[in-house]
Amino acid sequence: MDFTDSMGMDIVYRNEEKSEVKMKVRDYFYNGINAIHGGVLFTLADTATGVCANFGNNGATTLNSSFDFLKPVLEGEFLYAYAKKIKRGKTISVYSVEIFDDKENLKAHGTFTYYTLRR
């Protein structure tokens, strides 16, 4: 079992331009205020953008990110992350990502920059 499996993530679609990642909410994702922990949302976002950056076995790693938590996730069975390419270069690539709950409410968004280790 790899990390995405252990977190309940399913890569629904991916290529170097965009991706969709679905994550099953687990009971232990909730924090002390009964909202999904921000680290879970960030991990989902990093995964959705990372599968694009690594498409074709590029060996890309996260270089930088900016992430905004817009609304708390208080309930629901699944979370959805949609990533899309902003720029893909020889060594630096940038992707945007949005995270939604089951009711299609936008919960977070961010921008992730990747450094390509090999081509």
Q: 42: closest CA among 90, 117, 109? A: 109
Q: Mean pLDDT throughout 21-37?
A: 96
Residue 11 has pLDDT above 80, yes or no: yes
pLDDT in tens, 36-92: 999 999 999 999 999 999 998 778 999 999 999 999 999 999 999 999 999 999 899
Residue 118 has pLDDT above 80, yes or no: no
Contact status, residue 46 vs residue 60, Cβ threshold 8 Å:
no
Using CA of residue 111, residue 6, residue 13, residue 78, what is the dihedral sign? negative
Structure confidence at residue 56 (pLDDT): 82
Structure confidence at residue 1 (pLDDT): 72
Q: Mean pLDDT throughout 6-16?
A: 93
Structure confidence at residue 119 (pLDDT): 60
